[in-house]
Structure 1
């Protein structure tokens, strides 16, 4: 029976035992050498009456001995050599350890990316969770690239959603798509969790000038609840019949989008830029519209706007009458309970004035 060719065997990754230089051992030996060297120096110099004479260094019990000179100076030279050697080995150990970590990070990232490309849903979900753990373990090196990968995954895979049927009228065509897949939902939730829980996540984003990129993503009919999409770019995204509930859209850019049947409930739109949107059967309620920019938007029939609010004096900018009528100002430092009570009283007054036929201002 022929022996298998060794070249046909799958290669195995090299372990630490295969290498000559091992970072942990080098670090430990460097620390030991450092303490030995430092101890010898302190031992030799601790006495305040040291004399730098041959008699002092060569005497033992009052007897001058050259061997004692060589021994004492040998110890001193050994200490002077050991201390810088220990520092050098510790630096090398640290560098080797960092290189090893970098290699592991790259390997984990590549495996997570490959798992996202799988045709198996459970494998894709495992890839999302693996990437989350990677970003948690070393955010300074991995946070931005993991977030890029997760949002790329949501954006590109959502574009593959096929329409089930079209409802065509004289005014519009409103396609309905397959349900928003579980892996896309989990990927969005994971990216949001990382933004809210990784230490200094916003610092990493600012330093790298990074924003969530959902340009032209198909979020139609998606249920997007409690997701942090602050600073997100949603140019040309499909948002028909999507539901955004308690979503953070602070400073987001939503442009060139048809929000037919889209529901925004309890969202934070402060400093967001809403540009050239087509509002039709859109619901916008309980939203923060502080400094929200409404630019070039078109408002069709059957829209609902209610219980909007903004921090005074930062009114929504270029807002149409439908928005300004539905928005109430909130005093600086006014808590929500006090604001809600005041707004309820104002509504009661408005209802009473309308009943009495009094003019409104």
Structure 2
């Protein structure tokens, strides 16, 4: 990176970049998917008012604590209930679907909500092996053919005069649906760079690979009709409360969730607890804490300092935030406080 680029990084503040939301549509203990989707729309409507740039939803299957498995349906629900904010997938798992079906779904969404739909694509199945089989994925659908599937999907969006496709995606063809590649390793970073596409890295899943992946993306980037220069968004787990103590307590819900994942369990999001040391051993604590090493939990002042450090270190063009908070009102308050952090010079 040149001295000029470094100076530009140092000059930027949080108020200079967009902030967005990645909603995992959590189903809480004692709650239902209906409650989750109602809360998703409520949060999206508030985010629309608070100035957030995007509202993305993620595809996960066979997860009792996540209600966004039918991702394109939930995107339509959120887009219909909001006015300005961009709505999209963070992401749709391309190996799980026919490229034609994705083109038709997101072509339909773009036709209904012009200029507001994003298509973020992931290479992982977003599920376990048994669930992958239940999704009727055929041979070669393990992600290795991701570049070919991506090429086919992009071709469906081409105008009919330039498309080589004999099968047409209607709605879909000729529509400008921005495609993002999502990743937690170097594969999508390299591919998105070579194709000149925007790239989003899941640093809330794989913080240790964040900086190497960004380096790969920027070094491999080739200007395209989509982008003249690299555009990188980082996913960060952020929980803000009025005090550090309250935020740390709220964060125990997502710590419990990840603890259960490494133990091979899934379930609804649990209420916060006063003492995580009663639930995990030293090794489990180290693993969970390492996964949230790029997170930011605390009061507004604490979170601001952490995010400013991340911005300086990564040079991110945008930050997308996930907050697994049990109480919906506390989750709303967290995102309201965060919007205020990004609005202040």
Larger Cα-atom Rg: 1
Structure 1-normalised TM-score?
Answer: 0.23
Structure 2-normalised TM-score?
Answer: 0.24
